[in-house]
Structure 1
Amino acid sequence: MARVAMVTGAAHGIGADASVRLAEHGMDVAVLGADEAAHADTVRRITETGRRCVFVTADVADAGSVDRALARVHSELGDPELLLTCVGAVDRGPLGELSDQDWAEAVGEPLRGVFVTSRAVVDPMIKNGGGRILALADVAGGDRPAAARNSVVETGLAGFVRTIAKELRPFGITANVVAPEPAGTDLTATATATAGGSAYAAGALDAVRFLAGAEASAVSGQIVHVAMTA
């Protein structure tokens, strides 16, 4: 029986490419998101690999919505062995111009989505003897106005995976983050983009594949920085 991956943030860019890469390496993929039409191309690309794919409408920041989505994934594909959450940078302008809502959208919502989805998959992973929790992030910000908020998100992700890695190690569950280095890489760049974007995208996808595999069973609580090279 094929391993099952549950992926969020896969409408386009590296998130979509990562979903396809997982399918190419033998995983069935459940794609969670708010807009089915926006994910249609991702679903098509996954099914063209010959693997099963299901799109499930879900608000990843809402616990009830995620629980219902997980129940459908279980029914149609099986329990997820891998959770991949793709977290993009959110730019709401300079600090002095941020509203409370801007801050919540830039920092609170991405971190809550990772927390809610990770919490949801823990019980089925424990029941099945292990799993992988993985975030693919473009949050460092570089010289963009959003750098401060994105750095908060990256720090939050780092602390979260390090904490749950220790807690979940006895159950065979790993937790890691893949992030760009240097900061400021655009997560919307795809693996077919030109020059440095292509190099980063390809490296990030390789890191995701490695961390999702059995050979990474001893790697947990880490932020894997992937260099962007020309």
Structure 2
Amino acid sequence: MTHGRTAIVTGAARGIGAATARRLAADGFAVAVVDLDESACDEVASNIREAGGSALGVGIDVTEAEQVEAGVARIADELGPPVVLVNNAGIIRDNLLFRMSESDWDSVIDVHLRGAFLMARACQAHMTAATFGRIVNLSSSSAQGNRGQANYSAAKAGLQGFTKTLAIELGKFGVTANAVAPGFIQTDMTAATAERMGVPFEDFLAHAASQTPVQRVGQPEDIAATISFLCSEEAGFVSGQVIYVAGGPLD
């Protein structure tokens, strides 16, 4: 299926971002695989092209306005005007409040919130011109609070407010904005968390699964499937929503 539309996925070199880039390519989008290191995007972009899709790896630090503007301009020139944006780029710098440094706070807030703002601002002109746009921001179940994640929880909660405001401002131009809030997903990031805690990853996964009503942990493809729907034509009346994809209700 090809419809000539271009999508940007940030943080797409691995994990949820990589799965989303592959899924959107399968849905017919030309996909800009964006990450901090352009060379890290090569594998995902190559996978997409080998499967018959169109993809471009682009290195962008989403916290730097000039890089964002230049990168989005390059994507528009080489792939076509981006009308779908998935703000997935994110980092963790977990610590309890009394141990958390200002740098830990600033870096997490900058990547998630400033990055999403800069990317959305750069892409919105292409969406409004096309009278079609889809913005999906990656929140998290941690938005409801999580020990040791004051920075990450604040950033992910902030993205929910950002999403709802974009939905209000851009709706009249045919642009929707939604947030997806994953629960526990098996990724390199959660593996790093287990390592930092000194817990074998298999034990970490087993514990997470036991706490989840569907009795398994999530996979990147679970999140990509939800994002796929939100980016579709059929989702045009879904906007300003936060969808928790967490294997069950959250307390």
TM-score of the superposed pair, with normalisation by structure 1: 0.88
Q: Give the aligned partner of residue 101 of structure 1.
A: 103
Report the Cα offset of residue 227 of structure 1: 2.2
- For residues 189-210 of structure 1, the C-alpha deviation after alignment (integer angstroms, 9 at most, x for no partner) is 79xx98723x453331211110
Q: Give the aligned partner of residue 57 of structure 1.
A: 59
Q: Give the aligned partner of residue 224 of structure 1.
A: 243
Report the Cα offset of residue 98 of structure 1: 1.4
Alignment of 1:107-126 (within 5 A): 107-126=109-128
* Pairing 1:210–2:229 present: yes
- For residues 203-223 of structure 1, the C-alpha deviation after alignment (integer angstroms, 9 at most, x for no partner) is 312111100000100111111
Q: SS state of the match for residue 142, structure 2?
A: coil
Amino acid at match of 1:124: H
Q: Give the aligned partner of residue 220 of structure 2.
A: 201
* Pairing 1:145–2:145 present: no
Q: Distance in 2 between matches of 1:106 and 1:57?
A: 19
Q: Distance in 2 between matches of 1:32 and 1:178?
A: 19
Q: SS state of the match for residue 38, structure 1?
A: helix
Kindly tell me: are residues 139 and 186 of structure 1, through their superposed partners in 2, closer, same or farther at Cα, counting changes over 3 Å?
farther
Is there any run of 5+ residues in structure 2 with no aligned partner, and where? 191-201, 210-215
Is there any run of 5+ residues in structure 1 with no aligned partner, and where? none
Q: Give the aligned partner of residue 34 of structure 1.
A: 36
Alignment of 1:177-192 (within 5 A): 177-181=179-183, 184-185=184-185, 187-188=187-188
Report the Cα offset of residue 109 of structure 1: 2.7
Kindly tell me: are residues 42 and 123 of structure 1, through their superposed partners in 2, closer, same or farther at Cα, counting changes over 3 Å?
same
Kindly tell me: are residues 59 and 222 of structure 1, through their superposed partners in 2, closer, same or farther at Cα, counting changes over 3 Å?
same
Report the Cα offset of residue 139 of structure 1: 6.2
Q: Distance in 2 between matches of 1:161 and 1:187?
A: 24
Q: SS state of the match for residue 7, structure 2?
A: strand
- For residues 137-168 of structure 1, the C-alpha deviation after alignment (integer angstroms, 9 at most, x for no partner) is 4461775522x222211210010010110010
Q: SS state of the match for residue 81, structure 1?
A: strand
Q: SS state of the match for residue 224, structure 1?
A: strand
Give the count of matched residue pairs: 223
Contact 2:90-2:111 at 8 Å conserved across structures: no
Amino acid at match of 2:177: A
Contact 1:200-1:226 at 8 Å conserved across structures: no
Contact 2:36-2:60 at 8 Å conserved across structures: yes
- For residues 11-35 of structure 1, the C-alpha deviation after alignment (integer angstroms, 9 at most, x for no partner) is 1111101100000111110122221
Contact 2:90-2:108 at 8 Å conserved across structures: no
Q: Distance in 1 between matches of 2:187 and 2:84?
A: 21
Report the Cα offset of residue 9 of structure 1: 0.5
Amino acid at match of 1:169: G
Contact 2:141-2:181 at 8 Å conserved across structures: yes
* Pairing 1:170–2:189 present: no
Q: Give the aligned partner of residue 47 of structure 2.
A: 45
Cα RMSD over matched residues?
2.3
Larger displacement relative to structure 2 (85-94 or 60-69): 85-94
Q: SS state of the match for residue 94, structure 2?
A: coil
Contact 2:22-2:48 at 8 Å conserved across structures: yes
Contact 1:56-1:69 at 8 Å conserved across structures: yes
Amino acid at match of 1:203: D
